[in-house]
Amino acid sequence: MSSSTESSPYPPVRRIVTGHDSSGKSIFLEDKIVPAHTFSENSTASFTGLYRHDEFPASNQDTPGADGKVAFNDLIATKPKELVTPTGSTLWAVDTPPHNKSPFHRTESLDYGIVAKGTITLILDDGERVKLSAGDVIIQRGTIHEWINEGDEWSRVYFVMIASEKVKIGDKELGTEFH
């Protein structure tokens, strides 16, 4: 696949985070554009980390800041290149350029993917493939797969990645791997 140096034509993702003030009233804690990044030098897709928590159940507890303002623990900002947390969940927006693909990979996670724009094809390690379009949803359950944008337009897919146990087939455990 060709390498792309152009950036996504889609607008950056705006993230709004809610919380509570000291009296328990609902408030907006954040309203900002979140920057995208690549995971490696060879990466062509841009990843926007939108939220992460490292515990189940997730905590919605806010923390008073030194300035007296309420704050939340923004783990995605402190661990922006960790695709999956082993104990919680992450939310990503992934923009893939035309005619580009990911490596074959497996993560120890249950992934909910929602195609927002464009088309993208999911290929499993046995060669089976499914083309997804805007509005389609994929439930990815720890399988080896790759994503390929075979179209002429960028795609944007939102992923919620939830920590999972390794898949066990007989005596074999199937853990994280990238090819």
For residue 157, what are the contacts with CB-CB under 8 A and spacing of at least 6? 93, 94, 96, 113, 114, 115, 116, 120, 132, 147
66-119 residue pLDDT tens? 777 788 888 888 887 788 999 999 999 999 999 999 999 999 999 999 999 999
What's this model's pTM, rounded to 2 decimal places?
0.91
DSSP string, 60-121: ---EE-TTS-EE---HHHHSTT-S--SSSEEEEEEEE-TTEEPPPEE-SEEEEEEEEESEEE
When pLDDT is cut at 50, 70 and 90, the band that residue 4 belongs to is very low
- CA dist., res. 94 & res. 116, Å (int): 10
Q: Which class is domain 13-166+173-178?
A: mainly beta
17-60 residue pLDDT tens? 999 988 889 999 999 999 998 877 777 899 999 999 999 899 89
